[in-house]
Amino acid sequence: ISHQDEDLDLPHYDFTTLAKATNNFSFTNFLGEGGFGPVYKGVFNDGQEIAVKRLSKESRQGLDEFMNEVKCIAQLQHRNLVKLLGYCIQQDEKILIYEYMPKKSLDFYINDQKQSKLLDWPKRIHIINGISRGLLYLHQDSRLRIIHRDLKPSNILLDDEMNPKISDFGMARSFGGNETGANTKRVVGTYGYMSPEYAIDGLFSIKSDVFSFGVLVLEIVSGKRNRGFNHPGHQLNLLGHAWKLFKEGKPLELVDNLVVETCNLTEVMRSIHVGLLCVQHSPEDRPSMSTVVLMLSGEGTLPQ
């Protein structure tokens, strides 16, 4: 049975069309494993490139849940969020079709020293600013009020001009009214990016996203990963290392030399400071994304 939802203003694609566009979901078109199933590159007949997320068969998500998610994502319109182009529900298939992002994800750029050099300082600041605006939109828009819950480098995709776009809303939750969070027994997300209250007590809120954003900022600034930072000579993870340098009054050592030579030091300091404020242990101490956006623009005041 083919499914088409009347209230949804989003094109429904036929499974055969998608199979053709992705070369029958072949290995050569495989982009990687996403939060809820494999992702393939596809090309429509008119040449439009797409990314196709096929929900794995074992996925516990039922039809209603999937449709709720599609309805939620279909409303998202922001230059820093990956655009959903359509969906497909046919037989047991549940598929999402997104705009294709040609410059890979941040994962590629902050995986090792060599590739992080591909991001000069203006690009880094552009990426940090873009992610902050996309996240502010998710948290603030009164129709949406969404907590992403899985912000990490592989979920930040880059378009041709290196504009960052947040992707993968498979774990996102919306919250209504004046609520800003909830509690869950099923903790989903990625260690290294999860806030302590979420990882330990299952308590998620807009402030747990702020924590993950802070980790991303420190990773982008340093060109290093939070996870896997424990190589010989570095006993601390990236966050511990960043705090230590900050307390010793030498935060700029966090940034690799090449970048420091070509950048505006005030901007670097500002980003490090914002990153550290966002990864504070207590959620109440972390700024909201509107404060973050102000601080990054140099308009907000930074607490001492």
Residues acting as catalytic residues: 150
Q: Which residue's CB is nearer to ligand ACK, number 108 or number 175?
A: 108
Q: Which residue's CB is nearer to ligand ACK, number 114 or number 247?
A: 114
Q: Using CB under 6 A, which of 19, 51, 221, 277 touches ligand ACK?
A: 51
Of 104-112, 192-200, 201-209, 292-300, which segment contacts ligand ACK by CB under 6 A? 104-112
Ramachandran area for residue 263 (φ above 0: left; ψ -120 to 50: alpha; else beta) = beta
Is residue 34 a contact residue for ligand ACK (CB under 6 A)?
Answer: yes
255, 241 Cβ separation under 8 angstroms: no
55, 95 Cβ separation under 8 angstroms: yes
Q: Which residue's CB is nearer to ligand ACK, number 32 or number 298?
A: 32
- Minimum distance from residue 83 beta carbon to ligand ACK (Å): 9
Q: Using CB under 6 A, which of 74, 156, 157, 276 touches ligand ACK?
A: 157
Neighbours of 95 (CB within 10 A): 22
β-strand 84-90 against 49-54: which pairing, if any? unpaired
For residues 155 and 166, what is the distance between their CA atoms, to the nearest angstrom? Answer: 6
Is residue 95 a contact residue for ligand ACK (CB under 6 A)?
Answer: no
Residues 6+ apart with CB under 8 A from 150: 35, 168, 170, 171, 172, 188, 189, 190, 193, 212
**Which tokens go with 224?**
């290093």
- Minimum distance from residue 201 beta carbon to ligand ACK (Å): 28
Is residue 193 a contact residue for ligand ACK (CB under 6 A)?
Answer: no
For residues 172 and 192, what is the distance between their CA atoms, to the nearest angstrom? Answer: 18
Q: Which residues of 238-270 are buried (b: 16+ CB within 10 A; e: fewer)?
A: bbebbbebbeeeebeebbeeebeeebeeebbeb
Q: Which residue's CB is nearer to ligand ACK, number 105 or number 116?
A: 105
Of 8-16, 28-36, 137-145, 268-276, which segment contacts ligand ACK by CB under 6 A? 28-36
174, 145 Cβ separation under 8 angstroms: yes
Is residue 67 a contact residue for ligand ACK (CB under 6 A)?
Answer: no
Q: Using CB under 6 A, which of 12, 20, 104, 173 touches ligand ACK?
A: 104
Q: Which residue's CB is nearer to ligand ACK, number 153 or number 251?
A: 153
Neighbours of 114 (CB within 10 A): 8
Is residue 220 a contact residue for ligand ACK (CB under 6 A)?
Answer: no
| Nearest partner of 173 among 197, 131, 139, 200, judged by Cα | 139
**Which tokens go with 214?**
């802070």
Of 54-62, 89-97, 101-109, 213-221, which segment contacts ligand ACK by CB under 6 A? 101-109
Of 25-33, 136-144, 202-210, 276-284, which segment contacts ligand ACK by CB under 6 A? 25-33
Q: Which residue's CB is nearer to ligand ACK, number 148 or number 270?
A: 148
Of 2-10, 18-26, 31-39, 205-213, which segment contacts ligand ACK by CB under 6 A? 31-39
Residues that bind ligand ACK (CB under 6 A): 31-34, 39, 51, 82, 98, 100-101, 104-105, 107-108, 154, 157, 167
